[in-house]
Structure 1
Amino acid sequence: MSEPIGWVLAVPLSAKQMLELPPKKVVSKIEEAIKKAAALGADIIGLGALTSPVTMGGQKLLKRTNLSITNGNALTAVMTCEGIVRLIEQCPTPAPAIAVIGASGSVGSCLVRMIASNRLTEHLILVARNMNRLNKLSESIRQDNRDIDVRTSYDMNVVREADIVVLLTSSSDNLLQPEHLKEGALVLDDTQPRNTDSTLLSRRPDITIVDGAMVDINGIVINGDINVPSGLAYACLAETMLLALEGHPAHFSIGNPTLEQANYIGTLAQKYRRYGFSLAPFHSFGKKLPHDNPTYEVKG
C-alpha cells in the first residue's frame, strides 16, 4: 500500500486581511484553496494559521461532503501541553502558576482541560476577550478540579502573576508586552502569525520565549519551505498528516476539539512514531534552544 502524499496551499491574504475583510470574502478565498486541493486529489483538508479561526474552526466549511476537514487543534493542544510539562521541569518556581491567553478559543479550551486533568498546576490564570465563554469554561474546570485555583480576566495585566505564559490568540498584532511579564517568565507562543516580537527579548532579557507546538517529522519528506526549521512542522499540519496516514474517513477536529479527540490524535502520534510526530526540541524565533529534550506523555 502506497503512503499518502500531500500539498501545502497558501491562501493569498495577509493576517490583517483575514481578520479585517468581510468574513464572506475571506471564507470564499479559503474555499478556492479547498477546491484546488480537491482538484489535486486530496481526501483530507487541514486548516492552518488563521484559516481555522476565521472559519469557526472549520464549522463554516461543513457543507462540503467530498472532503474530510480538520482544524489541527487537537494535536496542537496535545503538543502545547507537552511543551508546558517541559517548561515546568525548567521552571525554578516549585509550583508555577500558568496563564493561558486566548483560553476560550478552540485550542485554548481543550488545552485548559488537559492542564487540569493532568494536574499540571494549582494556579491557573485564564485570559480571553469573551468573558461569557471564559466563565463557563472556568466553572467547569472548578467543578471537576476543586484543588485548582482558577482566575479569569480579559485584562492582560493579570499575566504578571504567572510563571509560565501560553499565548493562543488570533491577532495580527504583538499582544504580549514587557510590562505583562514577571521576572524570569517562560513564554510559549503558540500563535500563527505569532503574537510576540523578537524585540521583546532585548527589552526583557530575563524571559524565555519558546516557539509553541512544533512537531518533529524527520521521517517525512517536505519539498519546499514551510517557514520552519528543517524536519519540523506546525502541529496543525502534523495532525493532517496523521489522519492521512491513518486513512481517517470523516471530519475530525471541528470547532473546539474534545479531550477524546486529543487522546485519539495523541495515540496516532505514538502509532506513527517512526515518522517522528513527537514534540520538537525547543526553538525560539526559529533558533534551537539548549535543553535536555526529554520525552513526556500527557493524557487527555
Structure 2
Amino acid sequence: MAFLSVLLLGASFAVGSLPLGHWLLSRMGVDPRVNNAHNLGVENVLRRVGPGLAAASAALDFAKGFVAVLMASALGSPELCVLAALAAYLGHLNPPRFLYGQTPPRGRGNLVLLGVLAGLSVAGGLSLWLTVLPVVVYAAAIGFWGYVSAATLAGLLVFAGLVALSPLGIPAKLGALGLLIAATWRFKENLGRILDRTEPRFGEDVPVAGKRADQVVAAFMIHPMTLENFWESRRFAWMKPLVERGVISEASVRQMAENLRPMKVGELHGIKTAGGKEIRCYLLSSPLLPDVFRDQPELATRRAIEGARLAQELGAEVFGLGAFWSVVGNKGVDVQTAVPDITITNGGAYTSGTIKAAIPGILDHFQQTGRDLKQATAGIVGANGVVAFGIARTIAPQVGKVIMIGRDLERLERSAATLRRAARDTEIVTTTSYDTLREADLIFSATSDPNPVIFPQHVKPGAWIFDEGRPADADESVREVPGVRLIPGGVVRPPGGMTSNIDLQFGEGAVPACLAETLIIAATGEHDRKSLGPQTLTENINFFVEQADRLGFTVVD
C-alpha cells in the first residue's frame, strides 16, 4: 500500500510536469516565452493567441490537475488525493528541464489548481463546499483587487483553512498547507510588483513589442546607488526601520541583495515622440550596490544576463544597461551573446552625443562670464575612459592647458600624445593625482567609480564642473566652494509628459542619456545602432543626436 501510494504521487508529479500547453502553442508556431508579458497565464495567452488556442491550453492544464487526483483516488484515500494535488502542482511549477530543452517557462498554475479542486470534489472524497468555496473567494478577489496572484493565494488560504478544520487526517492538512506555501513562493515576485504598483491587473492591456504600430516597448536595468535608494522600493521599505534599530544588520541586507534575481520595479509612462509613437519602458533591477560591480564582476554579469531574459519575457525588444550595468560583461557584449534574441545597449553612443551637444554651450557660457578660454585650464577626470577622452579631444584645441587625470599613467601618455598632435598650442599634462585639479577653471568628469572622487580640496573657487559620472563624481560638499557651478551631464528629457513610479534621481521628467538611447532604438527600430563594447562609432553618436532631435528628446543643461 505504501509503495503504491509513493508510486501514485510520483505519477501525479510527472503528469503535472508535462508541458502540454507549452507543446501545443509551440506546435502552432507560437513561442509562449516571447508572447506573454508577465509569465504564462491564461489571460496573457488569450490576449496574444486568441480564444481557441487559449482555451485548448487552459483545458490541458486543467486536465493535468484533474487526472493526477483521479489516479490517486484509486486507493480511496482523501488524504492521498490532497497529496497528489500538491505533487501535480509542484510538477507544474518545477518541471524537469529535459522536457523543454531550455529554461522552463514559469507558469502560474491556476488552471492546474482548478483541475485539482475539481478532482478533489468529484473523485477525491472531499465535500463540495470544501472545494467550491475557495473558487468563489478567488473570483471575488479577482473582482475586488484585480490581481490574479493575490486572488489565488486568497483562495488557497481558504482551502487550507477549511481542510485544517475538517476531520481529514494530518497528511491532507499538510498537503493543503503545502499548496499554499508553494503558491506563495511562486507568486513572491508578483506580490513584490503589487507592493511596487507595477503588477498588471486582470484584463489590463499590457504593452508588448510588435503588438501595435504606434507603440514600442523597451526595458532598462537600474540598481540602487546607496542603501537609502534600496529602501525606495516598497517591497524592501519595511526593512529600513529594522536595520535602523539593529534588528537586521546592514551586512545581511547587502547579502540578500546579492542573492536576488532581477525584478520589475517600475515603469515609465507618457513618453510620446513628435511623430506620435508611444514608448513604454519597464524598469528592472537586481539591487546590487556599486561596490559589488567592482568586487564581483562575474555575479554582476550573470544578473545582467538574467535581466535581459526577463526583459524579453516582459515583451521588450530593446534592453538598456544603466549606471554600472553598462560596464559589466565587456560593456554588454557578453550579455548580448548570452541573450541574442533581444537588442542590448550600454547607451554609450548617445551619452557621448549629449556631451558633444552640451560642451559648446558650456564653453560659450563660460566665455560670457568674461573669462578667456585660451587662458583657461581644463581638468579631465577619468581620461583613461572613452567618454572622458572624447571630451578632452573636443576641448583641447580651445583652452590653454589640459590636465588629464586617470589611473593608468602609461595609457594617459599615449592618449596625450594624440591630443598634442591635434592641439599643438595647448599644454597637455598627465597625472594620477587629483590635487592638480586645483589649477582647473573647468573640470569635466566621467568616471565609473562607485564613490565621489572630487572634493572641495580639489576645486578652486569659481570653477565650473561638468559631472558626467553616474553616480556623481563630485561630492555634494563641492557646492560649498565659493562660486562653483556644478553641471550634471548626460541628462535628457524625453518627449511627452513622462511619469515614473520611482525616482530616477535625474529630476522630474528626465532620464540618463543611456536610457534615452534605449528608447530611441526602440522608437526608430534601428537595432544595429546599439552600443556594445569599449568602442563608440562616430556615425552612431551623430545618429542618436539627429534622431533625438527629430523625435523630440532634449538635453538638459
Normalised to the residue count of structure 1, the TM-score between the two structures is 0.83
Does 1:55 pair with 2:329? Answer: yes
Q: Conserved in 1, the CA contact under 8 Å of 2:455 and 2:477? A: no
Name the structure 1 match of 2:157: none
Asked whether the equivalents of residues 346 and 531 of structure 2 are also in contact (C-alpha less than 8 Å), the reply is: yes
Report the Cα distance in structure 2 between the residues aligned to 1:132 and 1:264, rounded to whole angstroms. 33
Q: How does 1:1-300 map to 2 (within 5 A)?
A: 1-4=213-216, 5-20=280-295, 22-63=296-337, 64-91=339-366, 92=369, 93-95=371-373, 96-116=376-396, 119-202=397-480, 204-219=481-496, 221-225=498-502, 226-250=504-528, 252-254=530-532, 255-273=534-552, 277-280=553-556, 282=557
Q: 1:178 to 1:125 in 2, by over 3 A?
A: same
**SS state at 1:176 partner:** coil
More helix as a share of residues:
2
1:115 CA drift (Å): 3.6
CA contact (8 A) 2:350 2:541 kept: yes
Q: Could you say which structure has the greater relative contact order, defined with CA pairs below 8 angstroms and 6 or more residues apart?
A: 1
1:27–1:11 Cα change, 3 Å: same
Looking at structure 1, the residues matched to 512 and 290 of structure 2 have their Cα atoms a distance apart, in angstroms, of 17
Aligned partners of 2:447 and 2:289: how far apart in 1?
16
Query: Which deviates further from its counterpart, 226-235 or 142-151?
Result: 142-151
What is the CA-CA distance between 1:122 and the residue it aligns to? 4.2
Change (3 A) 1:103 1:279: same
Q: 1:120 Cα shift?
A: 4.1
Does the Cα contact within 8 Å between 1:81 and 1:115 map onto a contact in 2?
no
**Alignment check: 8 A CA contact 2:319 2:344 kept:** yes
CA deviation vs aligned residue, 1:181-223 (integer Å, no higher than 9, x gap): 1221011121112222222223x13212122211122425343
Provide the identity percentage: 26
- Read off the aligned partner of 1:192 and give its amino acid letter: R
Q: CA 1:136 to 1:66, structure 2 compared with 1: closer, same or farther past 3 Å?
A: farther
- Report if aligned partners of 1:75, 1:262 keep a CA contact under 8 Å in 2: yes
CA shift for structure 1 position 7: 1.3
In the aligned structure 2, how far is the partner of 1:34 from the partner of 1:132?
Answer: 36
> Any runs of at least 4 consecutive aligned residues in structure 1 with deviations exceeding 4 A, and if so which?
none
Question: Retained in 2: the 8 A contact 1:52–1:71?
Answer: yes
Instruction: Indicate if the aligned counterparts of 1:163 and 1:186 stay in contact, CA closer than 8 A.
Output: yes
RMSD: 2.1
Q: Distance in 1 between matches of 2:451 and 2:501?
A: 27
CA distance change for structure 1 residues 208 and 102 in 2, over 3 Å: closer, same or farther? same
Letter in 1 for 2:409: M
AA in 2 matched with 1:132? E
2:359 maps to a residue whose letter is I
Q: Which has the larger radius of gyration?
A: 2
SS in 1 for 2:287: coil
> Please, which runs of 5 or more residues in structure 2 have no aligned partner?
1-212, 217-279
Q: Deviations over 1:38-71 (max 9, x none)?
A: 1112222211101112333223324132122221
